[in-house]
């Protein structure tokens, strides 16, 4: 998976709790992305980063925040998880901003 890991791989949490998902890369790629995948919606971009401390919103950013303090790590935080955030979350990396390589995914269930 092009040197990308995601943690945790599975998580079950309760509504209202904070959750942080981690994406770690060993490729030293500049760009990093967080997507969610839901049936009937395909992949939708949540947030992305184009460098350390440089992030921007994607299509479905409400309820999510991100941070990138190091090139290799991109964190996705749900400040107060809701059931609508139950999904599979994928991290991706890219050297150029075009061709993207995906991590194995995190399955999050919010009860």
Residue 27 region by backbone torsions, left for phi larger than 0, else alpha for psi between -120 and 50, else beta: alpha
Looking at beta carbons only, is 24 or 80 nearer to another protein?
24
Q: Where in 59-88 is the site for another protein (CB under 8 A)?
A: none
Q: For the CA atoms of the chain, what is the radius of gyration? A: 13
Cα end-to-end distance, the chain, whole Å: 30
Question: If binding is defined by CB under 8 A, does position 104 make contact with another protein?
Answer: yes
Looking at beta carbons only, is 40 or 53 nearer to another protein?
40
Chain center to CA of 56:
13
Provide the minimum distance between the beta carbon of 105 and another protein in the complex, in angstroms, as a whole number: 5
- List residues binding another protein (CB under 8 A): 1, 31, 40-45, 48, 50, 56, 58, 90, 92, 96-105
């Amino acid at each position: 998976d092009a040197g990308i890991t995601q943690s945790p791989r599975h998580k079950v949490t309760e509504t209202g709790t904070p959750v942080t998902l981690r994406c770690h890369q060993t490729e030293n790629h500049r760009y990093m992305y967080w997507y969610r995948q839901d049936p009937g919606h395909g992949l939708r971009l949540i947030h992305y980063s184009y460098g350390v401390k440089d992030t921007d919103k994607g299509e479905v950013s409400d309820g999510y925040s991100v941070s990138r303090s190091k090139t290799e790590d991109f964190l996705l935080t749900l400040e107060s998880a809701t059931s609508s955030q139950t999904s599979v979350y994928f991290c991706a990396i890219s050297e150029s901003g075009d061709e993207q390589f995906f991590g194995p995914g995190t399955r999050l269930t919010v009860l």
